Amino acid sequence: MQSVWEKRKNAARLPFPPLFGTVGHTRVLAVLSVVGSLTYIEMARVLYDDEGWFTRKVQANELRTVTRALVEIGVVAVGDRPEHVSLNAAHPAVKQIRALGALLFERYLRARSWPIPRRALKGPWCFVQTGNAKMFGLRAKHETLLIVAAAGSKGITPGEITDLTQVPRCSVLWALDSWESLNVVRSATTPRRRPRLPTRTLTLDPTHFAHAEMKALLLRWVQSVQPEYLTLAKLIGRVPRRRRAS
């Protein structure tokens, strides 16, 4: 039978997937999805193995920096006391974020977690849409993932992503390779778009361990936070391809 320390050590070996843009953002959201409200010191105790008061203070400062970006996006809120943070209950996609975060916590952090207090953070809650809504990483990764999710089962090609989002093609290809390496997106070669040439068509990967939760979050995001991607998805196959200058 494995000891508690062996379980934590084995859990630490699992590569944490950066589904929310970075590993730091994903770990913070996973913890807050399960716990409710935490101080930065308590969060450092859950996420890190190193002991010591000074080490905990350094780790808490790192988590404070990571969490600041999530507060700007609107998915995390600061409580009545500045050291307490929680998921923003007023965010339209908080239910889906909590479901995906809880699954990630169970898979990657449960074995290494300390007993931690669970408390509810008091409101009032509010959600203000800001220009910094890049929940899933840099612009290329964020927009590519949302347009693939909005396209649904019919799929979308890299060229169509470039034409609809105005993201450079090289950035689109980099983002797609990144999401495919995480098994979030998969590609298939099909002659459906252009009969003379095989086409790489992108859809969400149903074999991903969190496919249902990820799909629900993405669809909720494009419906309530950035609905312009649903409008763009309706133009798939209708926008003429841009010709390269000869």
Q: How confident is the model over 100-142, as pLDDT tens digits?
A: 999 999 888 775 555 555 555 555 455 555 555 789 988 899 9
How does residue 80 score in pLDDT terms, banded at 50, 70 and 90? low
Residue 114 neighbours by CB distance under 10 Å: 10
Average pLDDT for 55-84 = 83
- Domains of the chain by residue range: 4-112, 139-233
How does residue 97 score in pLDDT terms, banded at 50, 70 and 90? very high
Burial of 1 from C-beta contacts in 10 A (0-12 / 13-18 / 19+): exposed
pLDDT at res. 245: 47
Two tokens, residue 177 = 């390779």
pLDDT at res. 93: 92
CATH number listed for the domain at residues 139-233: 1.10.10.10
Q: Identify which of 186, 134, 188, 205 has the alpha carbon closest to the alpha carbon of residue 165.
A: 134
pLDDT at 233 over 50: yes
pLDDT at 212 over 80: yes
Q: Identify which of 65, 60, 66 has the alpha carbon closest to the alpha carbon of residue 21.
A: 66
**How far does Cα 148 stand from its chain's mean position?**
14
How does residue 60 score in pLDDT terms, banded at 50, 70 and 90? confident
Contact 60, 85 (CB under 8 A): no
Average pLDDT for 63-82 = 84
Tell me which of 38 and 102 has the higher pLDDT: 102
Please tell me the distance from the alpha carbon of residue 236 to that of residue 14, in angstroms, as a whole number: 38
Average pLDDT for 10-27 = 79
User: Helix axis angle, 211-224 relative to 139-151, nearest 10°?
Assistant: 100
Partners of 200 in the β-ladder: 189
Average pLDDT for 140-145 = 94
Instruction: For residue range 171-197, list pLDDT tens digits in order.
Output: 999 999 999 999 999 988 765 545 555
Average pLDDT for 201-223 = 94
CATH number listed for the domain at residues 4-112: 1.10.10
Domains 4-112 and 139-233 share a fold: yes
pLDDT at res. 120: 54
Contacts of 53 (CB under 8 A, 6+ apart): none
Look-up: residue for tokens 């203070």? 57
